[in-house]
Amino acid sequence: MADNELLAKSAVLQRLKRFFDVFQENMENYPYVVDLHTGVTMVARRMVEYFALPGEIVTDFHDLWKPLIYSDDLPKYESLLEEAFDSGSSASYDLEYRVKNSDGQYGWVWGRGSTSYDESGQPDFFVGVIMRMDWVLHADPVTGLLNRYAFEMDLKNVVERAEEENAAGAVITVGLDNFHILYDTYDHAYSDSVMKEIGVSIANVLPSHLNLYKLDGDSFAIIWPDVTPDEIAIIFAGIQICLRELKTMNDKVYFSASAGVVFYPESGYDTRALYRYSQAALQMAQQRGKEQLSFFSHEEYQEWLKFTNLQRSFEDSIERGCEGFLLYYQPQVDARTQKLIGCEALLRWQEPTGEIISPVVFIPILERTRLIVPVGSWVVNEAIRTCKEWQKYLPGFEMSVNVSLCQLETFDFHSVVEEALTRYDLPPECLVLELTESQSVSNWDFVNDQFDRFRKMGVKVAMDDFGVGNSSLGLLKNFNCDIVKVDKVFVDDILVSEFDRKLVKSTVQLCQGIGMTVCIEGVEEKEAYEYLANECDVDVIQGFYFGRPEPKTIFEQRFQK
Ligand code: C2E
Ligand code: CA
Ligand code: CA
């Protein structure tokens, strides 16, 4: 029957309809009322339009509504509704599910409703309301998954309930390791479609009672009550397998994900903190490399906070011309004459409190964030300027500067060095570039090409930390350098170990035999120096015995002697 016919038949319905119209006008969501005696249902006008229902008054609402519900969500809907009708006056239904709209697209809705009963205890009315998730900002527009807003609401509800019941669970954030490559390479419509596929794949791996939420950027979240680390590890492995099977255009990009996990109540019941901790654990996982699963710990978090704060300070510092960074200089002496011939420039960071921070702490942060590139350029300029200044005390004075692999990989590193040499008028022969992480070089042709350009100009190239890590001999064969800096581990025990004495001696002979200059680092004692100079005939010594790294003004006092 059409709306008008039904209305004309019943004065009660007419009155009810007037009430309902005022009611629906004042509501953002879509209300509907089912008369359970007759089946006559009043549906909000905007709900009729949005879901293409046949009219505002219908007699068979549930038969019209059910076919619009996404098939996976239908069983849950039906069983909840049955409960709401069957189980007495307090029953209500409350469910998030997907419904097809007039465009044929499925969207998430949040449906709530309950039944009222008449004097004889018979079901009287069912009053329901449908909220569109995209309205209450629940659905992520790209993936259709629940979004960050929904995540925050659910997390609050789940954790509050857990606190009441003394229950446990986990918050997991999953981040894609290399999605940005796709995002930077292809158009956004394409990367959006891949993101959607990724969302579906991850959701499929999860147990069916869990929701997958899409957070900002390329991360997802899961709230998992009552779960063990092992269960999480299994699902995490499943996610990797699914992602690996997902290939993109031309099969060029393969995806992987890392995840951070925090457990409640171990880390408290404060939802904001839990979310922050899971994000931090994810970032820690990603810093460790790809496909990492990281469980939150307070100790690691404190470390991570320190790192993050430092990183922020570095970014500010770089904006202000590397203010706060300092160079210390450590003397290098001719092993035979003990005369000062040069120094190594060693970076320091000074906290606003005045505390000086060691490069062992912050160089890894600068490298990981690539901030070493601007800071490294500052080092080059500062060191070359100082070297030129000191040549007036000691002509030919040499300056060694550390270079990270990622500096070498930037297209303008060569011109940064060349311009600094010209600007401060330093002869290129007085500059030594030390490659600090030869262990991690995978493309020696590239590195040699880069350094050969410097060597042609007259700049010398050194291999730093020889003997640390594996296959140093292999490095000698791969790397075209002029100087080998033998690491402190070679000299630490030469005063107590005959073997170490023989080892360092043959190492020096080997390097010199193939035409390298040998500089020994970490010499702290007179006897060690004497053995190295007299028995091993090394070329250069750098170590605390001749001087620690010192600020510029202190180092300058050496020239007055
Ligand atoms: P490195 O290049 O091997 O520098 C030598 C390190 O050994 C310095 O530590 C120095 O203080 C220490 N050392 C020298 N002689 C002795 C000794 O006799 N005994 C002991 N116990 N230690 C000695 P520092 O200054 O803490 O620097 C650590 C590392 O940080 C450097 O190792 C280098 O890899 C890195 N670094 C420093 N400045 C820079 C920079 O400007 N750029 C890059 N990329 N790395 C840098
Ligand atoms: Ca060095
Ligand atoms: Ca070294």
CA of 463 to the centre of ligand 2 (A): 8
pTM: 0.68
CA of 555 to the centre of ligand 3 (A): 20
Whether ligand 1 lies within 6 angstroms of the CB of 402 is answered as: yes
Confidence of residue 123 (pLDDT cuts 50, 70, 90): confident
Ligand 1 atom at shortest distance from the alpha carbon of 404: 44
**Residues in contact with 331: Cβ distance below 8 Å, sequence separation at least 6, in sequence order:** 340, 342, 343, 542, 546, 547, 555, 558
Whether ligand 1 lies within 6 angstroms of the CB of 35 is answered as: no
Using an 8 Å Cβ cutoff, are 139 and 133 in contact?
yes
> Per the omega criterion (within 30 degrees of 0), is the bond before 265 cis?
yes
Contacts 24+ apart (CB under 8 A), 155-163: 155/223, 155/271, 155/274, 155/275, 156/271, 158/223, 158/225, 159/264, 159/269, 159/271, 159/274, 160/269, 162/225, 162/264, 162/265, 162/269, 163/265, 163/269
User: What average pLDDT score do residues 540-557 get?
Assistant: 98
Whether ligand 1 lies within 6 angstroms of the CB of 438 is answered as: no
Give ion ligand 2 contacts, CB < 5 A.
Answer: 402, 434, 464
**pLDDT digit string (tens) for 436-451?**
877 778 889 999 999 9
User: What average pLDDT score do residues 531-550 get?
Assistant: 97
Question: How many beta carbons lie within 10 A of that of residue 97, not counting itself?
Answer: 19
**Beta-strand pair 146-147/169-176:** unpaired
**pLDDT digit string (tens) for 204-216?**
999 989 999 999 8
**pLDDT digit string (tens) for 248-283?**
555 667 789 999 999 999 999 999 999 999 999 999
- What is the distance between the alpha carbons of residues 131 and 133, in angstroms, rounded to a whole number? 6
* Residue bearing the bigger pLDDT, 171 or 244: 171
User: What average pLDDT score do residues 224-240 get?
Assistant: 97
Confidence of residue 346 (pLDDT cuts 50, 70, 90): very high
**Least confident interval from 47-61, 377-391, 461-475:** 461-475
Nearest residue by C-alpha to atom 43 in ligand 1: 402
Ligand 1 atom at shortest distance from the alpha carbon of 379: 41
- What is the distance between the alpha carbons of residues 377 and 102, in angstroms, rounded to a whole number? 60
Which of the ligands is closest to the CA of residue 466? 3
Whether ligand 1 lies within 6 angstroms of the CB of 383 is answered as: no
Which of the ligands is closest to the CA of residue 522? 1
Whether ligand 1 lies within 6 angstroms of the CB of 379 is answered as: yes
Give ion ligand 3 contacts, CB < 5 A.
Answer: 464-465, 521
Confidence of residue 316 (pLDDT cuts 50, 70, 90): very high
Confidence of residue 29 (pLDDT cuts 50, 70, 90): confident
User: What average pLDDT score do residues 226-246 get?
Assistant: 94
CA of 540 to the centre of ligand 3 (A): 13
For every residue of 123-192, DSSP letters joined together read EEEEEEEEEETTTTT-B-TTT-SEEHHHHHHHHHHHHHHHHHHT--EEEEEEEESSHHHHHHHS-HHHHH
**pLDDT digit string (tens) for 32-62?**
999 888 889 999 998 999 999 999 999 889 8
Q: Please report which helix (H) or strand (E) contains residue 323, including its range.
A: none
So what's the pLDDT on residue 470?
A: 66
Q: Which domains does the chain have, with CATH numbers?
A: 3-135 (3.30.450.20), 148-296 (3.30.70.270), 307-560 (3.20.20.450)
So what's the pLDDT on residue 237?
A: 96
